Structures are given as C-alpha cells and as structure tokens.
C-alpha cells in the first residue's frame, strides 16, 4: 500500500473555468507514484502564488554564459557539445567553441542543422527548462548572485532546442506551454520538477496541476539526473587582438567564450571583433 506521500492527485480531466473566471472545475483521481519517479518528487514542490516580476533582469543570473564548472569552456558551448551529434569545433579553441553539428530537437521532433555564425546560430538555442523569469517569481528573488548564476548555468536546467520554439515558450511554465512533440512532454515536465525540487522553487496551483496531469499519464517517468558535460579542456589563453581571433575563426567573440579578452570589446557590449 503506497504511503500518503506517494499518492498524488493527478489531474485526469480538463480543468474548465466557470463563467466567473475565478473557480476551476476538474476531475481528479489518485495515482500511485513509484519511488524515484518525477511524480513522487512533485509532492515535494510547494504550491504558492506567483510573486511579482518586479526587479527581474537577466543579468541578475550572471552576465551571459560563464564557465561555472571550470572545464575551460563556457556553458553554452558545453551544452551544444553535449546535445548535438557530429559536432565540429572552431580551430584554435581546443574543442570548446562549437562550429557546427546536428540537433535531434526534443521539442519539435525535427532534425536541425546548427552552424555557428551571424544569422545562423539562432536556429539552435539553449533553453532554461525552468525559465529564469519564472524562477525569479517563484523563489529566486531570495537567492544571492552566486546561487542565481549557478542556476542559470546548471546543465540539469539546460537543453539545446529549436530556436523559434524557445522564443515561443519565453518564460512560460507547464500551465501555459508544453513541447509540441507530445512524446517528449513527460521527460520535459520531469526535468522541470527535478529543477524545482533541487532548488526549492515553488509552483503555482495551475502549474502544479498541469505537471500532475502530464505525469499522471506516465507515472513511472524517472526523475532525471544532471546530464554529464564534456570533459575538462585546457583553458584557451586570451586572444591578444582581433586579427588573431579572426584567424582562429572565433569572431565575433563574446564574454565567456574561450580566449575572451575585455580589450577586444571596444564598445563594452560584451561582444568583441564584431566587424
């Protein structure tokens, strides 16, 4: 007999708003949550109201992608190297800066070719599965800068995905956006649960019910662990000038990229050797 904590009321019907728009009618049934499952972990995620978005800025979670694991590569390139297949690297970056590869996109189910460069890099973007703004409104306002930066660069919360779909998702939670590829929804929600449980973030009632509804259809979906990143690389020495950056095929170079040198950023926008 499952303990009360291992029994979760999963939403099996569709919530219907009554005419007032204030109350919700739904159909619920108890579902056993196997030990170690995302459904079980969902019971540890608190349900609370959304805090105001006031004060949120992306830079509160660190200035762009950084090398939090000290492997010599910034997090964006780490995730690209992890999630792409057939990847190649920009020469001179010691296999850090991903130049090209193929993504089996989990959100759409499509195969997407990635090629680094102006106007092409955006085809594949790195999604914060639990969006930074969503985290801000559900607990991260109380964190210090170090914890927020770690969260923004945690591979558990990062996936390489279809760029336009990432933009479509924005800062939505599970109540308002799920991947179009239905076969990935269980794994997607399980990853959100894992992140929220790991960092003590809460969920709104609508979000919690949406998560329970998805996981109720796959109660044995495991709680994912942190995906491994590439092995430690030898750090790249800072490039002395833009001529060297261009010769290495690394232009434009951004804050956090291997070989970054603030002296390359004449206008202070975090991007060097732009032209």
In terms of Cα–Cα distance, which of 208, 101, 77, 85 is closest to 155? 77
Q: Are residues 254 and 143 in the same domain?
A: no
Q: Are residues 31 and 112 in the same domain?
A: no
Provide the residue range defining the domain that includes 256.
242-272
**Structure tokens belonging to residue 128:** 């914060």
Q: Which secondary structure element, helix H or strand E, spans residue 76, and what is its range?
A: helix 75-83
Same domain, 182 and 66: yes
Using DSSP, how many helices (H) and how many strands (E) does the chain show? Answer: 8, 11
Residue 71 in any domain: the answer is yes
The reply to whether 97 and 176 lie within a common domain is: yes
Note whether 155 and 89 are same-domain residues: yes
Residue 40 lies in a domain: no
Domain presence at residue 52: no
* pLDDT range class, residue 236, cuts 50, 70, 90: low
Q: Residue 235: which pLDDT band, with cuts at 50, 70 and 90?
A: low
Enter the DSSP assignment of 141.
G
Helix (H, G, I), strand (E, B) or coil at 8: strand
26 and 106 share one domain: no
Q: Average pLDDT for residues 96-117, to the nearest whole number?
A: 96
**How much is the pLDDT for 194?**
97
Residues 212 and 247 both lie in one domain: no
> Is residue 258 pLDDT above 80, yes or no?
no
Identify whether 72 is part of a domain.
yes
Check if the beta carbon of residue 149 is closer than 8 Å to that of residue 62. yes
Domain co-membership, 201 together with 156:
yes
How many domains does the chain contain in total?
A: 3
| The pLDDT of residue 272 | 85
Q: Give the list of residues 6+ apart from residue 199 with CB closer than 8 angstroms, or none.
A: 135, 139, 140, 151
How confident is the model over 100-112, as a mean pLDDT?
98
Tell me the whole-structure pTM to 2 decimals: 0.74
Q: Residue 17 has what pLDDT?
A: 32
Percent of the chain, pLDDT > 90?
61
Residues whose CB falls within 8 Å of the CB of residue 189, separated by 6 or more in sequence, listed in order: 38, 174, 178, 210, 211, 214, 215, 221
66 lies in the same domain as 166: yes
Answer whether residue 19 is part of any domain: yes
Q: Is residue 51 part of a domain?
A: no
Residues 27 and 69 in one domain: no
pLDDT, one tens digit per residue, over 213-231 is 999 999 999 998 755 555 4
Tens of pLDDT, residue by residue over 59-71, are: 999 988 988 888 8
Q: What CA–CA distance (Å, rounded) separates 169 from 15?
A: 21
> Exposed, middle or buried by CB within 10 Å (0-12, 13-18, 19+), for 250?
buried
The answer on 71 and 24 residing in a single domain is no
Cis check for the bond before 252: say yes or no (omega within 30 of 0).
yes
Contacts for 209-213 with beta carbons within 8 Å, 24 or more apart? 209/11, 209/15, 209/26, 209/175, 210/11, 210/173, 210/174, 210/175, 210/178, 211/42, 211/45, 211/174, 212/8, 212/9, 212/10, 212/11, 212/39, 212/42, 213/10, 213/11, 213/12
Co-location of 9 and 85 in the same domain: no
Is residue 32 within 8 A of residue 6, CB to CB? The reply is yes
């Amino acid at each position: 007999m499952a303990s009360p904590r291992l029994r979760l009321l999963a939403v099996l019907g569709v919530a219907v708003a009554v005419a007032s728009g204030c109350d919700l009618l739904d159909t619920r049934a108890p579902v056993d949550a196997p030990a170690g499952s995302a459904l079980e972990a969902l019971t540890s995620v608190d349900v609370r109201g959304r805090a105001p978005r006031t004060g949120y800025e992306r830079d509160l979670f660190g200035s762009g992608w950084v090398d939090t694991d000290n492997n010599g590569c910034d997090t964006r390139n780490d995730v690209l190297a992890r999630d792409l297949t057939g990847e190649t690297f920009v020469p001179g970056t010691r296999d850090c800066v991903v130049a090209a590869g193929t993504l089996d996109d989990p959100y759409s189910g499509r195969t997407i070719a990635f090629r680094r460069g102006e106007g092409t890099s955006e085809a594949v973007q790195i999604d914060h599965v639990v969006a930074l703004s969503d985290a801000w409104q559900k607990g991260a306002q109380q964190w210090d800068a170090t914890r927020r930066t770690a969260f923004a660069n945690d591979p558990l919360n990062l996936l390489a995905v279809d760029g336009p779909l990432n933009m479509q998702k924005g800062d939505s939670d599970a109540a308002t956006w799920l991947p179009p590829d239905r076969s990935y929804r269980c794994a997607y929600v399980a990853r959100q649960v894992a992140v929220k449980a790991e960092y003590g973030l809460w969920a709104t009632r609508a979000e919690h019910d949406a998560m329970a509804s998805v996981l109720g259809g796959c109660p044995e979906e495991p709680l994912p662990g942190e995906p491994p990143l590439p092995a430690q690389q030898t750090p790249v020495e800072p490039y002395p000038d833009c001529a060297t950056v261009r010769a290495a095929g690394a232009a434009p170079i951004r804050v956090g990229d291997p070989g970054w040198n603030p002296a390359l950023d004449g206008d202070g926008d975090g991007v060097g050797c732009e032209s």
